[in-house]
Amino acid sequence: MGMSSTFIGALVLVILIQAKGQPGFISIDCGAEAGANYTEPSLQINYVSDENFINTGVRGTIASEEINTHAQQQLWRLRSFPEGKTNCYKINITRGSNYLIRTLFLYGNYDGRNMSPQFDLLLGANLWDTVTIQNASITQFNEIIHVPLLDFIQICLVNTGNGTPFITAIELRTLKNDTYVTESGSLERYLRCDLGSNRSYRYWADDYDRFWFTCDIKEVWTQLSASISDDSFFENDYKPGATIMSTAVTPANGNAPLVIGWEPEHETDEFYVYMHFTELQVLTTNQTRQFNITMNGELWFSNFSPQYMSVNTIYSPSGISGKEIKFSLERTENSTLPPIINAIEIYKVKQFNQSDTFQGHGSP
Ligand SMILES: *[C@@H]1O[C@H](CO)[C@@H](O)[C@H](O)[C@H]1NC(C)=O
Ligand SMILES: *[C@@H]1O[C@H](CO)[C@@H](O)[C@H](O)[C@H]1NC(C)=O
Ligand SMILES: *[C@@H]1O[C@H](CO)[C@@H](O)[C@H](O)[C@H]1NC(C)=O
Ligand SMILES: *[C@@H]1O[C@H](CO)[C@@H](O)[C@H](O)[C@H]1NC(C)=O
Ligand SMILES: *[C@@H]1O[C@H](CO)[C@@H](O)[C@H](O)[C@H]1NC(C)=O
Ligand SMILES: *[C@@H]1O[C@H](CO)[C@@H](O)[C@H](O)[C@H]1NC(C)=O
Ligand SMILES: *[C@@H]1O[C@H](CO)[C@@H](O)[C@H](O)[C@H]1NC(C)=O
Ligand SMILES: *[C@@H]1O[C@H](CO)[C@@H](O)[C@H](O)[C@H]1NC(C)=O
Ligand SMILES: *[C@@H]1O[C@H](CO)[C@@H](O)[C@H](O)[C@H]1NC(C)=O
């Protein structure tokens, strides 16, 4: 079943063509000097200092050789927390709105000790993740889609006795309210794949600044691509964007199904899946691309035909779980062409049942 669940990617720079507005973006450069407010040119994203969001911690800068290999300046500074068990950021947001919340960590031997720490990351009082720095030179990140219940969120770092916690950047992106809806719980990114592509993307290829990777899926696929101009492209609410949708995969053997499967760590883990489709070929009158989508052998969606230059997103209205989860795209009897898929997002449900506020020592 070949999908790897860990992606600690060095992000490739997105070539800049034009600046866009960034409504609903909050981008915080942790450890930047007070008053810092700048646009990172390679991303065209505006970052501000973290001074208004926290009053504890110590500002740090990654080692100079790390600065040379990381071009984006929001990665150069960080804030570390040698004092106190738990230190929290408090960020004002719009309650009830849907957010993509991302934290980034680049150790970069900022303390000259060459000792990568491990610490806990909390959202309010809830454990979000245990951050284990795998490689001092690689930017790690956590992403969650969450609807805050209060007018602010708290992001806390907890010293668990395995080194000094730190954080490099915090990024919040407002998503459309009626997208990524769950029956309960928040959505932690498990995989987000720009299929058929050879590189990673984020803003401005993606209006919501989701991180897209090529994904190392060990299935035998053929890459397809087409050029899609932004102005002729019809988006849906998930807005995967023309760049992401301009590549796709199809089974190398045209009669074989296109299979995407994974084995959850726990059988009770719940997943939500979002598949994005665009037909990349102009079909002649005697050509049909039509397929059924099955999930663990059960029909999930039938007689589906992707639309030319337009996005269709097929997603799970409720959580999916199992020992193994296997989606299979199978061409129908009428189809003259094999199935395709352009992009897929897989999220794992995270139940945050504690308070949204951290109530302990160390909260601001
Ligand atoms: C940062 O600068 C931009 C552009 O000058 C301005 O619109 C924005 O309000 C500033 N943000 C902060 C937090 O000062
Ligand atoms: C957050 O909101 C509170 C209450 O409205 C306000 O007092 C505070 O100044 C805001 N903080 C920032 C950083 O904007
Ligand atoms: C989403 O819902 C919240 C709360 O109802 C509302 O304040 C916000 O304006 C909505 N956002 C969008 C983009 O519709
Ligand atoms: C850390 O990542 C860098 C850059 O990808 C790589 O060159 C290096 O070998 C990695 N180090 C370890 C210890 O894996
Ligand atoms: C990706 O790389 C492969 C092998 O280098 C190449 O054949 C293919 O055309 C590339 N695909 C895209 C979409 O650039
Ligand atoms: C489709 O139609 C074209 C002409 O309209 C014809 O040349 C071609 O052979 C047909 N292809 C198939 C698979 O029937
Ligand atoms: C696709 O689904 C339809 C039910 O809507 C079924 O009749 C058909 O046999 C299925 N085709 C394949 C190839 O599974
Ligand atoms: C398959 O093709 C037949 C004959 O053209 C047509 O009657 C039928 O409606 C088609 N089925 C689907 C699901 O499109
Ligand atoms: C939160 O959920 C976990 C796992 O479902 C459970 O073990 C824990 O007791 C719950 N905590 C509260 C405060 O409800």
Average pLDDT over residues 117-128: 96
For residue 77, is pLDDT > 70? yes
- Determine how β-strand 312-315 pairs with β-strand 271-277: antiparallel
Q: Which two tokens stand for residue 62?
A: 């990654």
Domain ranges in the chain?
Answer: 8-175, 186-349
Return the best residue to mutate from 25, 93, 94, 207 for the ligand 3 pocket (most ligand atoms within 8 A of CB). 94
Residue 229: which pLDDT band, with cuts at 50, 70 and 90?
confident
Ligand 3 site, residue 97, Cβ cutoff 6 A: yes
Q: What is the pLDDT of residue 3?
A: 33
For residue 8, is pLDDT > 90? no
- Nearest ligand to the CA of 127 is 9
> Please, are residues 204 and 241 in contact by the beta-carbon 8 Å criterion?
no
For residue 327, is pLDDT > 70? yes
Ligand 6 site, residue 64, Cβ cutoff 6 A: no
Residue 1: which pLDDT band, with cuts at 50, 70 and 90?
very low
Residue nearest to atom 7 of ligand 9 (CA): 353
Percent pLDDT > 90 in the chain is: 87
CA angle 134, 137, 141 (to 5 degrees): 60
For residue 199, is pLDDT > 50? yes
Residue nearest to atom 7 of ligand 5 (CA): 223
Residue nearest to atom 1 of ligand 6 (CA): 286
What DSSP assignment string belongs to 53-115?
T-S-SEEEE--HHHHHH---GGGTEEEE--SSSEEEEEEE--TT-EEEEEEEE--TTTTSS--
Q: Which atom of ligand 3 lies at the shortest distance from residue 95's CA?
A: 4
For residue 234, is pLDDT > 60? yes
Query: What does the pLDDT look like over 129-164, one tens digit per residue?
Result: 999 999 999 999 999 999 999 999 999 999 999 999
User: 137: CA distance to ligand 4 center in Å?
Assistant: 7
Residue nearest to atom 11 of ligand 7 (CA): 332
Ligand 2 site, residue 92, Cβ cutoff 6 A: yes
3-state secondary structure of 232: helix
User: 92: CA distance to ligand 2 center in Å?
Assistant: 6
- Nearest ligand to the CA of 268 is 9
Q: What is the pLDDT of residue 27?
A: 98
Q: Which atom of ligand 4 lies at the shortest distance from residue 10's CA?
A: 5
**What number of other Cβ atoms are within 10 A of residue 361's Cβ?**
9
Q: Which atom of ligand 8 lies at the shortest distance from residue 333's CA?
A: 1
Residue 20: which pLDDT band, with cuts at 50, 70 and 90?
low
The answer to whether the 8-175 and 186-349 domains have the same CATH topology is yes
CA distance 172 to 175: 10
Query: What does the pLDDT look like over 34-73, one tens digit per residue?
Result: 999 999 999 999 999 999 999 999 999 999 999 999 999 9
Calculate the CA 182 to chain-centre distance.
Answer: 17
Reading phi first (left if > 0) and then psi (alpha if -120 to 50, else beta), residue 106 is in beta
Q: Which CATH number fits domain 8-175: 2.60.40.3140, 1.20.1250.20, 2.60.120.260, 3.40.30.10?
A: 2.60.120.260
Residue nearest to atom 7 of ligand 2 (CA): 92
For residue 328, is pLDDT > 90? yes
Q: What is the pLDDT of residue 12?
A: 31
Residue nearest to atom 10 of ligand 2 (CA): 92
Ligand 8 site, residue 334, Cβ cutoff 6 A: yes
Peptide bond into 262 cis (omega under 30): no
Ligand 7 site, residue 278, Cβ cutoff 6 A: no
Average pLDDT, the chain: 91
Query: What does the pLDDT look like over 107-116, one tens digit per residue?
Result: 999 999 999 9
Ligand 5 site, residue 247, Cβ cutoff 6 A: yes
> Please, are residues 264 and 322 in contact by the beta-carbon 8 Å criterion?
yes
Q: What is the pLDDT of residue 21?
A: 61
Q: What is the CATH number of domain 186-349?
A: 2.60.120
Residue 19: which pLDDT band, with cuts at 50, 70 and 90?
very low
Return the best residue to mutate from 46, 91, 170 for the ligand 1 pocket (most ligand atoms within 8 A of CB). 46
Strand partners, 131: 119
Q: Which atom of ligand 9 lies at the shortest distance from residue 354's CA?
A: 13
Ligand 9 site, residue 354, Cβ cutoff 6 A: yes
Ligand 2 site, residue 94, Cβ cutoff 6 A: no
Q: Model-level pTM?
A: 0.90
> Please, are residues 51 and 34 in contact by the beta-carbon 8 Å criterion?
yes
